[in-house]
Amino acid sequence: MIDSLAHGKGAIPKIKNLSARRITLNLPSPVVLGQYVIRSRGFAIVTVELADGTKGQAFSLDRSTPVADTVNTLIAEPYKEIFDGDPIGTFDTILRRMSAPLSSGASLRGLSLVDLATHDAVARHKGMTVVESFGKKEKEHPMWAVVGYPPSRGPEDIAWEVEAAVAAGAVGVKLPVGANPVKTRERIQAALATGLCPVSTDLAWSCRTAKEAYEIVKGLDLAWVEDPFIPGSIAELVELRRLLDVPLSSGDDETHLYHPQAFIETGALDMLRIDATCQGGLSRMVLLNEYMANSKLAISWHVYDGIHHQIASIIDSPTFSIEYSAPGASVDPLAEMILDRRQSGHTHDGKGFRLAVPDLPDLSDALAGPPRWMSYK
């Protein structure tokens, strides 16, 4: 169980400033996921400053949507007005007052980041990590490495990265869809052939039918199959789950308030994919805690490992995996930059979500590859 008022009302200063900005990191080479071609990664960075000067931050991919603008023009002022020291109560209140504009898409992404940055600020004000501010201790969680980026790399270039990721401490690896279905299978088979760890695959919304997805992965000993269809494809997921003999997972880019309930109620998945940076932040995870725990479904957390590691230690649902990528992989280049800086001695202060977001110009270059796998610690 979670004490949802763990932060306590009244003891926390009001919010003085709340703002967001967008930065773009140009990738060294395009990332092609099925029909989805990515040449740069855009991020929204939200900063919450309390009246005593304490600042909290959160960031996330914005998926080319106006997340930062939405925070600045739609969310900031009413959120500051409502905030009374309790981020969870504030989240619930603003969502009920403004449910039409805030329940999906860029607005929900923006509200999620505001919520996370507020939790970060509150915990920093108390001189604690976010986990500690809820009266809990941080747990150890299975760390999975996202390998095989960019997806244009062939199977001959997979084994060394699996070996490097496992040597750095990953307990499993996930590969994205390849240049075509044949290459996808070959890349997966190359990872499985190492025999070093469990392997999963992200089909990255590349399939239209359950049969198409099944043909790509049939006979492969996978830990799970992820995101075969575009968001909202519950009927297709239900059909595919009947065909598969390995677990099915989806949902990390479902930016609406039907997630995860729609997946749970329809029995569409074996495991939930959750991304708190676009699905309601920490507060929504707390509000849904009992419901999700009762579903008995484990969670596979979508990147943003620094944030998700602490959230997974707060809620009661079991964590199957928390994923992260190596500097130079171009999966989540801002998080990769933070990890790279940490490995180089640019450490965080040990408070809040323990993020040390670099102060970058609006346009920068992502770290170039090949991926450099280092100890996550």
| Domains of the chain (ranges, CATH numbers) | 15-132 (3.30.390.10), 136-353 (3.20.20.120)
Count of CA atoms in the C-beta half-sphere (13 A) of 322: 20
pLDDT, position 35: 75
pLDDT, position 5: 47
pTM (predicted TM-score): 0.96
Which stretches of the chain score pLDDT less than 70? 1-10, 346, 376-377
Closest listed residue to residue 146, CA positions, set 185, 192, 202, 184: 202
pLDDT, position 48: 98
Q: Do 54 and 124 contact (CB within 8 A), yes or no? A: yes
C-alpha 340/C-alpha 375 separation (Å) is 11
Main-chain phi, psi angles of 373, to 5 degrees: -80, 125
